[in-house]
Chain A
């Protein structure tokens, strides 16, 4: 991956496609997310995580929190409508729940200003 820039210059955003995530195991996905977030980046997942992966993400985040260094994560998901892009079979297989745009960032740098079904406003501050 590209070298990490000086965080004082700005905030890096990693936009990760669903295709890229598809090839990874759950733990690899969680590592990719947390490595990015711990460097101070905002990670945006095109297709989000499965509920099981979300549960593991919380668990691994907890084990990595350490005082004055890492306070954990802020996570926001933006569900897509069930009916428009997933078939009945998809829903039966539990696929629909993973297709949600997900924004993850360091807890001390990201703050949700407003959230409704159509808009999420987030304030991202530098370290």
Chain B
């Protein structure tokens, strides 16, 4: 069964690239809550579009993004050629949401319950997108935290099983506790690029790699 499904999906994928040659690749920004996905999406949009409206709000409170948000037709110029991508900022993926954790961030119970309900809907939606609607993945990790979590391992496994190109970004290198090597050790089968989405550090290499992986 696996072989047949794989065959079917690779035919579908081949066909879609054939007929959609001019279309932008849809790149999903995935990763655990609070990794800096929205901060990165906002920076990409600010760097490469004229109006540069933010993709969404950034916050230290987890599950700030609770709806997948798409920004279309971003043209990234690299070495004289351009790469067109749609960027999809997704809610941080998790296997559990406990509204009482939001209460610690000075939130009323009603708001915390609503936030948790929206978060669960958003994560479900993001998982669905990952199976059906993305052509590549930027996986963002907070390099000050332990990358060897079950959610990261599962997500990377899911992405690999669909043969999607994936770029792992080690974010928040401006922080002292940051360890890029820890991420490289956790996912040795992939290339890890360090950056600070907040400060804009090493963005040139990030854009080079986006062009290389998704162009």
A: residues with CB less than 8 A from B are 50-52, 54-56, 58-63, 65, 67, 71-77, 93-95, 97, 107-108, 115
The CA-CA distance from A77 to B154 in the complex, in Å, is: 9
Q: Is the CB of B98 within 8 A of A52?
A: no
> For the complex, is B160 an interface residue (Cβ under 8 Å from A)?
yes
A64 nearest CB neighbor, chain B only: B120
> For the complex, is B150 an interface residue (Cβ under 8 Å from A)?
yes
Q: Is the CB of B123 within 8 A of A58?
A: yes
Task: List the one stretch of B11-19, B50-58, B127-135, B170-178 in contact with chain A.
Answer: B127-135
Q: Is the CB of B2 within 8 A of A54?
A: no
The CA-CA distance from A56 to B127 in the complex, in Å, is: 8
Q: Is the CB of B120 within 8 A of A63?
A: yes
Q: Is the CB of A67 within 8 A of B128?
A: no
With A58-B123, A63-B120, A63-B124 as known contacts, state yes or no: A52 contacts B96, CB within 8 Å: no
| Dominant secondary structure of chain B at its interface with chain A | helix
Chain B residues, CB < 8 A from A108: 98
A3 to chain B, nearest CB (A): 28
Q: Is the CB of A94 within 8 A of B96?
A: no
Q: How large is the interface on B (under 10, 10 to 19, 20 to 34, 35 or more residues)?
A: 20 to 34
A30 to chain B, nearest CB (A): 12
Residue from A51, A61, A62, A93 with most neighbouring chain B CB atoms (10 Å): A62
B: residues with CB less than 8 A from A are 2-3, 6, 93-99, 113, 116-117, 120-121, 123-124, 127-128, 130-131, 148, 150, 153-154, 157-158, 160-162
Across the interface, A52 reaches (CB within 8 A) one of B93, B124, B131, namely B131
Identify 22 residue pairs between A and B in the complex whose beta-carbon atoms are under 8 Å apart, listed by A's number: A51-B157, A51-B161, A52-B158, A58-B124, A58-B154, A59-B127, A61-B96, A62-B120, A62-B124, A65-B97, A65-B120, A67-B116, A71-B98, A72-B94, A72-B95, A72-B97, A74-B96, A74-B150, A75-B95, A77-B150, A77-B154, A108-B98
The CA-CA distance from A51 to B164 in the complex, in Å, is: 13
Q: Is the CB of A54 within 8 A of B121?
A: no
Chain A residues, CB < 8 A from B94: 72
The CA-CA distance from A71 to B116 in the complex, in Å, is: 10
